Amino acid sequence: MSGSCNHLHNHFDFSEIQNSRLKSRVMWASVSVALTLVLSKIIAWYLTGSISILSSLTDSFLDFFASVVSFIAVRQAMKPADEQHRYGFGKAEALAALAQSIFIILSVSYVAYEAVLHLQDPKPITKPFIGIVVMMISIVLTLFLVRFQTYVITKTRSVAIHADSAHYKADLYLNLTVLVSIILSYYFSLFWVDGVMGLAVASYILYTSYGIAKHSINILMDRELPVNMKNKIIEIIKKNPEVKGLHELKTRSSGTRDFVQVHIEMDGEISLKRAHEISYDIEKALIASFPRIHLTIHQDPAGVDELHVKL
């Protein structure tokens, strides 16, 4: 049921256009920041020889790669539904996030390996001032980017941008630990700190990557929406006095959209037109609370036995 709700969906389409613009801007910012950090950290690592900066450089390279993949995926996900893809391309974001996670896990394992080697044979850091300056610049740029990404995520719920943002949030911790590592290693001769910090950050990145991969798989496997959201949907539907019951509630998410299917039970003696009006009222109420919802309502006469579980 949705054919008569054009103005509701026109509002949704306008929101989608706004979301698309936000996504494009934040992805361009992401790619630009990542490239800047990669180039600056290559120079810093070459001049200092710090294993912590190497781990940070590796992470920034991964961020650049991930941001490019996310950018491509977000552009694909923003395409309108067509005859062959009636539910749109929203899952392209989840695919990108999963690919990023796998790539990150493999690459960060190398950083952990280098950190262990450095612990076995610690080496002093040279030209620490350059490393300190580069890491401070990295912290400032990353902080601004994360704030922008957080804003966009709250507006769009993009899983690809969420995955991208997770990398940069990890970078904030990484860059801070690298900064501390350089200072302790050079000024206090605690050479082992460099390796420990690199290993700690690698472990943290592996942990966050696992979380992103798990979330992406849930989306790709059409996992149900959160219980609190489903309960709210049921509550809104039952508020309509014409609804005698409901069943067969099925939910899933894809990109920025939430798909909901439900059977509602009404008086079997009312006209088809009246049943349609009731469904329309329910759709308006649900879209008011969940603007990204894509709803399909099936009307059933109350009292007819079906193989279903009452909600």
pLDDT in tens, 231-259: 999 999 999 999 999 999 999 987 778 89
What is the dihedral sign for C-alpha 98, 96, 30, 78?
A: negative
Whether the per-residue pLDDT at 11 is higher than 60: the answer is no
What pLDDT is recorded for position 201? 74
- pTM of the complete model: 0.62
Domain of residue 175 covers 6-220
Q: Are residues 167 and 278 in the same domain?
A: no
The reply to whether 96 falls in a domain is yes
Q: Measure the CA–CA gap between 191 and 194, rounded to whole angstroms.
A: 6
Q: Are residues 233 and 174 in the same domain?
A: no
Q: Are residues 172 and 42 in the same domain?
A: yes
Q: Are residues 263 and 115 in the same domain?
A: no
User: Which of 190, 220, 250 lies at the terminal end of a domain, its last residue?
Assistant: 220
Give me the chain's average pLDDT, please: 81
Quote the tokens at residue 27: 């992805």
The helix (run of H) or strand (run of E) holding residue 266 is: strand 257-266
Q: Are residues 40 and 132 in the same domain?
A: yes
Three-state DSSP at 261 gives: strand
CB neighbour list of residue 94: distance below 8 Å, 6 or more residues apart: 159, 160, 216, 219, 220
CATH at residue 99: 1.20.1510.10
61-114 residue pLDDT tens: 877 877 787 778 777 777 777 788 877 787 887 888 888 788 777 777 777 777
Whole-angstrom CA distances from 83 to 22, 89, 135 are 27, 12, 49
